[in-house]
């Protein structure tokens, strides 16, 4: 069973749309959660951490549901520059970071 599972998409949305990505993790002992963004052929970059209380950074909102072992990312008012692959990450107490397969987003003019 994969540590982290994501819907691979692709998601093709018009500019200004709201889009949501979901992710589930299998290890209930996972401690920390993140969303990373990866542009084609580039290294992943941290988009935001995910906390149980939910957190927001501008147009981006992340949520964590520990009971359901579920993580989400909401992007509001999508921009062309948001086109990328979004990777869900769960880290355990052994300092191992597990990545999902990524969800591809294309924002269309």
Instruction: Give the residue, chosen from 22, 27, 49, 55, that forms a contact with other proteins under the rule CB under 8 A.
Output: 49
Closest CA to 69 of 48, 46, 92: 92
Question: Can residue 95 be called a binding residue for other proteins (CB under 8 A)?
Answer: yes
Q: Is the dihedral of CA 17, 52, 64, 91 positive or negative?
A: positive
Complex with other proteins: residue 15 or 39, whichever CB lies closer: 39
> What are φ and ψ of residue 28, in 5° steps?
-65, -15
Query: Strand 45-50 to strand 19-25: parallel, antiparallel, or no bridges (unpaired)?
Result: unpaired
Complex with other proteins: residue 82 or 86, whichever CB lies closer: 86
Question: Can residue 10 be called a binding residue for other proteins (CB under 8 A)?
Answer: no
Binding residues for other proteins (CB under 8 A): 3-4, 6, 8, 32, 34, 36, 41-46, 49, 87, 91, 95-102
């Amino acid at each position: 069973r994969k540590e982290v599972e994501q819907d691979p998409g692709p998601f093709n949305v018009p500019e200004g749309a709201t889009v949501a990505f979901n992710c589930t993790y299998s290890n209930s002992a996972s401690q920390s959660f993140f969303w990373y963004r990866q542009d084609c052929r580039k290294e992943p970059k941290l988009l935001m951490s995910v906390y149980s209380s939910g957190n927001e950074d501008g147009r981006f909102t992340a949520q964590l549901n520990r009971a359901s072992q579920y993580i989400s990312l909401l992007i509001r008012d999508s921009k062309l520059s948001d086109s990328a692959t979004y990777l869900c990450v769960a880290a355990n107490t052994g300092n191992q970071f597990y990545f999902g397969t990524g969800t591809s987003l294309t924002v269309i003019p």
